[in-house]
Amino acid sequence: MSLTKKESIEKNRFELQFSVDKETFDAAVTKVYKKQVSKINIPGFRKGKAPKAIIEKMYGKGFFYEDAINDLIPAAYAEAIAEAELQVVGQPEFDVVSIDDNGLVLSAKVYVKPEVEIKEYTGIEVEKKIAAVTDEEIDNEIKTVRERNSREIEVSDRAAELDDTTVIDFEGFVDGVAFEGGKGTEYALKLGSGSFIPGFEEQIVGKNVGDEFDVNVTFPESYHAKELAGKPAVFKVKIHSITKVELPELDDEFAKDVSEFDTFDEYKADIKAKIQKRHETEAENALDDKLAEILMEKLEADIPAPMFEAETENFVRDYDNRLRASGLDLATYLKYTGLTLDAIREQLRPQAERQVKVRLALEKIAALENIEATAEDIAAEYENIAKMYGIEVDQVKASIPEDAIAEDMKVKKAMEFVKTNAQIKVKKARKPRAPKAAAPAAEETKAE
């Protein structure tokens, strides 16, 4: 097998021709014949016993050629690419040039990595904003842990209040007639949750266990059941029980129960430190994103479309893997969402294009700065991957070639080089408050 032609046919695209000698090609044809002969019936011969020459005479000399060529292509193409010294991207387009007494000649049209230029990648001026830790954030973290450690106790010495949970029976009537979906028994309703239509929960406040009473409400004009929209209704309600959430006291005992600290002050200080670390990580990630955006702007390259398409498919596979990790798969996800695979590709394409551009920029920087991955870098990365996926290092090494790890490490080190040589202005900033969640629409509430 040998490369016979290497020709540039357009920018970043080559046509290669490579030959397979007659002896190798004939051996591949014979191999296919032996594999398929058991399935072939020829009159006058027992099934699977027809000679190769007879089959070719009956069905044509090229009867086994296609499968033989398909068997030969991977190795022959790999040798041709290595000999041509090309960095191929995307899938090649194969064609048969000739089959004769000299053997087989194939052609492959391939796209290659583009020539890349990037300048002024050192001394980049960029701002790094680290959000200050607020008392509100600390309180919210503690509130979450406090609620997780709460307990529900029954109320018997007072009437129902907002935030209590009441267990009720109810039945709704419009114009004195019960309507479908308006009845429930022993339904647990948290007062103030907005689960029922407006005005319902507020009328339970002040009532006691055992009380039976009417709740008068009006369905919203936008209610999804058109026959009820805008109409007044009466619900017959009975309260079976009232419970409330009892939160633990925020004291040293609470700190001992939920952490390794002996005092609440130590626990609170640790919460603050963890939030600060999270803010710093977020700021570092945001800085990387800003630097990546700037590098993309500085990149000069005519990138072939197959690079974007191949990376998009990588994103789709990764998306499928994440779905499988959560007990789903892409096919089921598409079925339930009504999306198509092309729609998923369209959503992921911008991320894929960004990934390709940033990597090309960093690969060029690594080359310009003679950045290499050391044996220690590669070993550490194998360890990191193994730890991330909870598998043995040997399994990672079996699935990811060392040269691929080395290339990834050079890209990472190139980003560190850019960051180290950037002019970073660190700015402390107050973290903006998250917007309050909108109340559920009336048509999405209970009491149907």
Task: Evaluate whether 2-112 and 151-246 have a shared fold.
Answer: no
The residue extents of the domains of the chain are 2-112, 151-246, 262-430
| Residue 104 CB neighbours (<10 A) | 26
DSSP code per residue over 252-265:
HHHHHHHSS-SSHH
Query: Domain 2-112 belongs to what topology?
Result: Alpha-Beta Plaits (3.30.70)
246: three-class secondary structure by DSSP: strand
Give the predicted TM-score (pTM) of the model.
0.72
Integer Cα distance of 352 and 319 in angstroms:
12
For 185, 243, 374, the CA distances from 190, given in Å and listed in that order, are 15, 9, 60
Give all strands (DSSP E) within 278-408, no chain letters: 299-300
Per-residue pLDDT of the chain (448 residues; tens, 9 = 90+): 689 999 999 999 999 999 999 999 999 999 999 999 888 888 888 888 889 889 888 888 899 999 999 999 999 999 999 999 999 998 999 999 999 988 999 999 999 999 999 999 999 999 999 999 999 999 999 999 999 999 999 998 999 999 999 999 999 999 999 998 899 999 999 999 998 999 999 999 999 999 999 999 999 998 888 889 999 999 999 999 999 999 999 999 999 999 999 999 999 999 999 999 999 999 999 999 999 999 999 999 999 999 999 999 999 999 998 899 888 889 999 988 899 999 999 999 999 999 999 999 999 999 999 999 999 999 999 999 999 888 999 999 999 999 999 999 999 999 999 999 999 999 887 655 555 444 333 333 333 3
DSSP code for 422: S
Architecture of domain 262-430: Orthogonal Bundle (1.10)
Contact of 153 with 180, CB cutoff 8 Å:
no
Longest dimension (CA), the chain: 102
Class of domain 151-246: alpha beta
| Backbone phi and psi for residue 232, each to the nearest 5 degrees, phi listed first | -75, 145
In sequence order, which residues have a C-beta less than 8 Å from that of residue 266 and are 6 or more positions away? Answer: 255
